[in-house]
Amino acid sequence: MIVAAYQGFSPEGNIKSALATVDKTLAKAANENVEMIVFPELYFPGYNQMKSHPVVAQKQGGSWETKLAALAKKHGCGLTIGWAERDGDSIYNSASTFDRAGTKLAHFRKIQLWGKTEQEIFEFGDSYVTFELAGIKIGLLICYDVEFPQHVQALAQMGVQLVLVPTANPENFSIVNTTLVPARASENAMTIVYTNYCGSDNGLSFCGQSTIVGPLAQPLASAGPDDEDLLIADLSSINKIDAALISTQLTDFRKVLTK
């Protein structure tokens, strides 16, 4: 299975521009036989468009999802992307996954809302989401979620081998990209696709450094801090890893009862 991560600039509320970027990026990824590409968090309408989210947020099955599904089908390339979702009076920081045929495989709502700004706008998600693609069990998390070992471990215990993570990680927090994400992958013997923005959005600067990390905590592909990039990794290479090098923490862990 070939996966990809698109690191790019925020559309800053310009939905037409966002759709155009998704269109051209899916075309590029399809030429590399990518099965699934991951875009950043809240790409529709852009992460730091906080005043806009409650106004423009859409219901599932709305025009954004319809157009994204059509683009995935047009190019024959799966897509996972973050967007602002409305459900009645509630707004969620969500992500949806579509396969190569444009069929919706999964929908996830961010569990760990980061800071006062997100918590004032969005409701908390309350469940994990998994699905299978190309014989691999896959889970979704969004940004801050992956920083919690408990969430990644929960997915691993459900049999997840690959976690797709749209993110909007600001500058000065690159420890997440370089240390925490590799640690989560190693601890749970899984692969993580962590897709960030570069540049800035409405005054918020991002650290870039998107990464696809395998179970040995080593990047299979990685981006720099400042530039648009398309990371591509063939996960079949993981099958060649010496099994003795892969963590067995999930089975080795001994729980200590406290008094």
Domains of the chain: 2-252 (3.60.110.10)
Nearest to 125 by CA among 148, 141, 104: 141
38-65 pLDDT per residue, tens: 999 999 999 999 999 999 999 999 999 9
Taking the model in full, what pTM does it have? 0.97
The confidence score (pLDDT) of residue 258 equals 86
Q: Where are the alpha helices (DSSP H) in 38-91?
A: 53-56, 63-75
Q: Is the dihedral of CA 161, 162, 167, 173 positive or negative?
A: positive
d(CA 78, CA 35): 6
User: What type of residue sits at position 239?
Assistant: N
Least Cα distance to 143 among 231, 238, 38 occurs for 38
240 has a pLDDT exceeding 90: no
Phi, psi of 90 (to 5 degrees): -100, 145
Q: Which tens digit of pLDDT belongs to each residue from 142-197?
A: 999 999 999 999 999 999 999 999 999 999 999 999 999 999 999 999 999 999 99
In angstroms, the CA 206 to CA 170 distance is 4
> What confidence score (pLDDT) does residue 239 get?
80
pLDDT by residue (tens digit) across 96-130?
999 999 999 999 999 999 999 999 999 999 999 99
Residue 259 has pLDDT above 90, yes or no: no
Q: Kindly list the distances between the CA atom of residue 199 and the CA atoms of 8, 149, 168, 195, in Å, as whole numbers in the listed order.
A: 8, 28, 11, 14
The pLDDT score that the predictor gives to residue 62 is 98
CB-based contacts of 75, cutoff 8 Å, min separation 6: 23, 26, 27, 29, 30
- Per-residue pLDDT band for 221 (boundaries 50, 70, 90) equals very high
Q: Mean of the per-residue pLDDT values for the chain?
A: 97
DSSP 236: G
Q: Sheet harboring 2-7: ordered strands across?
A: 104-109, 90-98, 78-87, 36-38, 2-7, 229-234
Beta-strand ranges (E) seen in the chain are: 2-7, 36-38, 78-87, 90-98, 104-109, 130-133, 136-140, 162-166, 191-195, 200-201, 204-205, 211-213, 219-222, 229-234
Would the pLDDT of 238 be above 90?
no
Contact present, 29 and 37 (Cβ < 8 Å): yes
Q: Report the C-alpha gap between 202 and 46 in whole angstroms.
A: 9
